A and B are shown apart, each in its own frame.
Chain A
């Protein structure tokens, strides 16, 4: 992972990233968020870093869930 810097992002920034990644933004919000990513390299790095963490957490959680699916029908 390309770490964006020594400090972690602010809580509000994390929540904005989550809001985007969870697909909660409406189309206008999405367009303006993408514009900001284009214009702000630091924000872009922070977002890519957070996205990697987010996707990995989600995937690992699904792995656990698959074991539950499996056990539930055996």
Chain B
């Protein structure tokens, strides 16, 4: 087990290697849990990925108490999300959820307001309308945290062009978001 402080720092930095390692350590365990609790592989994947995003976000917002175990935290969020899924109406149609009431609930940090949710949807839709090269550039810079020099080499652009494109892409994303918000989703 790696030093926990190292793991939270790595998540905050979006360290791809560490996040991939945590994903690959924990997914098989969660998949077993889901398969043993009336779920299938695809449901396990969807719920686990939502949990991973929530875990990552909470770490960034310092909601994880000092010295907590990141993998245990991720697993508890995923288990909670699985309970939510089992209780959702879609699932209730086919299975009696009473039998799952013994699964313990762990409080999860989730304070997304509805307004925040719809804002997210608007920007997600705008992102989908961006050109591929914009999305690629923004992914390298904001998620993978590569320098503009690295990005310009990777994308075969001059540094000045890459810098300018990043600016234009965000300007475009904002304009599209405003448009989508005005016209409704």
Q: What is A's interface to B at a CB cutoff of 8 Å?
A: 1, 3, 8, 11, 14, 18, 22-23, 49-50, 52-54, 56-67, 69-70, 72-73
Contact = CB atoms under 8 A, between A and B. Distances in A.
Interface in B1-33: 12-14, 16, 19-20, 23-24, 27
B23 A62 contact: no
B124 A56 contact: yes
Interface residues of B, number: 40
Contacts of A59: 53, 57
Interface string B168-185: 001101110110010000
Secondary structure of the A contact surface, majority rule:
helix
Given A1-B123, A60-B124, A61-B139, A66 B52 contact: yes
B143 A62 contact: yes
Contact of A62 (B56, B163, B167): B56
A61 B143 contact: yes
Given A57-B123, A61-B139, 18 more contacts: A3-B178, A11-B163, A11-B164, A14-B167, A23-B12, A49-B174, A50-B170, A56-B124, A57-B143, A58-B14, A61-B143, A61-B144, A64-B139, A65-B16, A66-B23, A66-B53, A69-B20, A73-B24
B34 interface: no
